[in-house]
Structures are given as structure tokens and as C-alpha cells.
Chain A
């Protein structure tokens, strides 16, 4: 095949790379577990925005950071009013028959503020470095560290008390 002009073929390749990241975007979105914005809606909005701004992807450098950063902006806008109702969300019945462990994790996750959820999941599921997390969420690395610590401690206490409750039953 004849060589294509660099600028355009980069755009096409970028879209290919993005499409390979879709399963990871979905996993992350699923674990963020927002009742206000179902996981695949969040992924769809992210991909639409990515397609729209694909010409900026290369300037951003790290494609994964760029993509999860777009999702972060959409998620924060959708999740902001939700903070107050986190408990209600945790207690809300789910329509789909979800597995028990996921349900327990969702409940624990719902007790965290949106940004702590994001930090914990980017580190845990995406195995991002703290610098990458900082860039994705556009916050200082120090903030990433302190919130990661708080998120983990809250989740640990949540799961311990859930386990205790199950034993009592």
C-alpha cells in the first residue's frame, strides 16, 4: 500500500487505538458505578467526544491518559449532583441481576466521593502510575496520594463492616 500522508493516517490509527481501549473504558465505567449515568452511556459519551476531538489526541501524548481524562470530565459533570445522594444510590434496588461481589463493591464504592473512586480505580484496574492519574484527573500528584490513602481506608472499613453484617445474619 502506498504511504499515506502522515497527518491523516495518524488520525485513522488513533481511532484504531481508541477502539482497542474500549473494553478497558467499559470496565472502569462499570466499576465507577454511577446510578445517574449508566456505564455504557458514560463510555458512549466519551467515545463521541474522542471522535470529535481526535485531532487533539496526538498533541496530548499519552492516548490512555487523554481518553480517561475525557471520561473523567464527563463523569464529574454527571456525578457532581450525586454526592449528596450517594447513600440513596447505595440502597437503591438494581434492575439487572448483578453478581453478589460486584453489588457489595458498588455499595462500598458509593460511599466514596467521585474523585476518590476515580483515583482508586485508575490505580487498581488500570495500573496507572500516580503521575498518569494526576494528569488524567488534572490534579497534583500529592493530592492523588492523599486521596488514594483515604479511599483505600474507607473501602477497607466498608468491606469489613459488610462482612461483619453478613456473619450476624
Chain B
């Protein structure tokens, strides 16, 4: 009988709580009366998500490792735990507004959201490649199913299938990369890989196996964060999936994937120096440029934001290429801001989409600015933040990225990023043009007023402004987390 200390359970408390609530939802859904089913499961999911968020604070009080050193609680994992569970709370709120309006209020959607979050929680806390892989799968499979949850829509089914096929392909790459790394170093633990002699030799071009492993893992993760040239799936999946699920995909899994990006490349492979630097550099430039240029031509708001999310993955990779504590902190701060502004933007889209997502074209937003002043003002705020206008979180996120990149003397990359962020302004502005300056050519049906939507929107807007005006605490937290990440490899 293996003895498991109680503190281990506390260290994975958020995951335990979320799993428990996920299962509870599935249990409750059956016996609940048909009319009441959606409401009951929604409330349970919200309680579960909030409890998961709060239990991160409990987890944070017990730093250390658990389960044979496979799971680690440090500032880094707590940061991402908080970010991901907060995103899930917002998405559950959105779903509680969206699902009844679509007539698709089903408990399993809520349960899958929570299970997906469990996967992401394990992703950001794991320090062992097999564990990382397993948790990546938990989160991905939940997301595949969620993407197809508009069962009577061909687009949604197409999205799920595409996501599943390409996603499995990418995970296979990732797994192969793990195998190569194991072959080169004889271990799958992040800290031990970092100390393995083969990794340091890769710096001198001796150990091709390490580089091959790094390259394969980069492909797998590049797919998950939708970085070019692995971004092909993004627009179709974002368009087809139900809007709250798109919000979920663009926030949580992306942040979690970037977390393991950081763990593996800064944690495990940092001794290989900058051998993988050019990979990141090329992917950053491609993502920003392809994302922004393609977004210029989109008429569908969800597709536009899909391309914009590709571009934003590129900005994050710029900070990633900066190779250092500042870069890591910039990545983390940016992700926090991005999660807030992106979920906020998708919240508005989900709210106005109406039955069967009839209204997601740009022209449907004509004249909404004066009909729904509150929601439109919030959407405008999120768009301004995505552009990177001062006093919003998006601006400071970009500033920290540029700062880190310039500090690392990546001047060319920074200039490309800066020009890209100016190009991007055009398509974000276009949405505002429709909101406030166009008259509608067809009237859209009015969405039902909804309390949960208002709460989600208000929370995102407050977060964007808070990060934009008083960023200090978040930046300090991010820097502490970056230190925690680098601490174990003695850098």
C-alpha cells in the first residue's frame, strides 16, 4: 500500500474540486426535471468553477511537489491555475447566457468545460513529460467534443472533426518529440532533462536527437497555440464551434499550452541555449503577419478574431524569443490581458449571435452601438485593448513584450511586431465603424437581457482596465512566477 500524504491532495485541490463538480453535473443531469435541467447544471458548473478558482488560493499555500515529483506547485503553476480557472468561470457565465438562447442547454457541455479545465490545470502543474502529455490529451479531448456541441450545425461538426484530426496529428508529433528527448537523455522529468549532458551538448551541435525532440514538440505545441505555420485549423474551428466554446479555446487551452511551452523550452531545454531560437523567431514573424493580413479581409467576426488570435500568438512568441526572465514575465502578463480581452470580445459575439448563430457577420453589428450602449462600449474597450491603446491591458502587455525583446536586442523582430500591431488596428477599427457609424441593412433580433452576461462582461472589462492602469501587482506576480520557473534549473 503506497502512502500518499494528505498535502498532496491539497496541492491538486483545484483539479479535485473541478472533477467532483464535473461528475456531480453528470449525475444530476439524469434525474433533474427536463425543464429545469439546464438551469440546475449551469448553477452547479458556476459553483464548481468558482470553487475551483478559490481552491487555487489553498493550493498556493502548499508549495512543493506531489506524486513522485510529477506535479509541482510553485508561483508559476499557481499563476496559470488562477488564470485558467478564472477564464473558465467567465466562460461558464457566458454559456449560461448562450445555451438557453440557443435551446441547447445540456449538462454535458458544462461538465466538459470543467473536465477540460482539469486537464489544463494538470498541464500547467506537471513537470514530467508523460504527465504533460496525458493532461494535454484530457484537455484536448474535452475541447474536441465541445467544438461539435452544436449538433444540428454542419459547421460545428466540421469544426469538431477538423480539430480532432489535426489535433491528434499534432499530439502525435508532441509524443514523438517526447520519445526523442527520452532517447537522448534517458528521462522524462523536466529538471533531469535540463541537467542531462546531451542537452548541453546540443548547444554545440553534437546531439541531434535533442534538437529533433525539441523541433517535434515545438510543432505539437505550435498547433495548440495556433502559431503559424500550424494555424490552418484555427479559423474554421473558431467559426464552427459555439461562441462560448470558441472563447474557451482561445483562452484557457492557449494559456495552458504556452505554460508548457515555457516549462519545456525554458525549463527542460534551456541548457541547449538558443539552438531553438530561430524556430521561435520564424514562427513569431509568420504568425503575426499571416494572422493580421488574413484578418483584414474577414467579414465574419468569429473568423476575424480567429486570425487575430493567430497574430496574438505571434506577439507572445516574440517575448518568448527574448530568452529571459523578462520575456517569461511578459508572456505571462500578456496572456492574462489576452484572456480577459478575448473572452470579453467573444462574450459580446455570443450574446448577439442569436439562435443558430445567425448574426455573426460584421454587417449585423451595424448600428448596435447606440441600441446597446453598454455591451458595445465594452466591445469597443476590448477591441482597443486588442489594438494596444494605452490604459488597457493589451497595451501594457505589448509594451512588456517590446521591452523584453528590445532588451534582448531583437530589434528586427520588434520592428516587425510594432508594424504588425499598427496593421491590426485597421480591422479592429472596422468593427467599431460598424458599431457606431453604419446603419443596419437588416435588423437583428434582440437578445434576451441576461444577468450572467452582464457579470461576465463587467468582469472582463474591469480586468482589462485594471491590467491597463494598475498593472504592477500582476507584473510582480508574473515576474515571481518567472523566477520560480527558472529556479529549478539554477539559472
Q: Are A and B bound to each other?
A: no
Chain B residues with CB under 8 Å of chain A are none
Which of A's residues lie within 8 Å of B, judged by CB? none
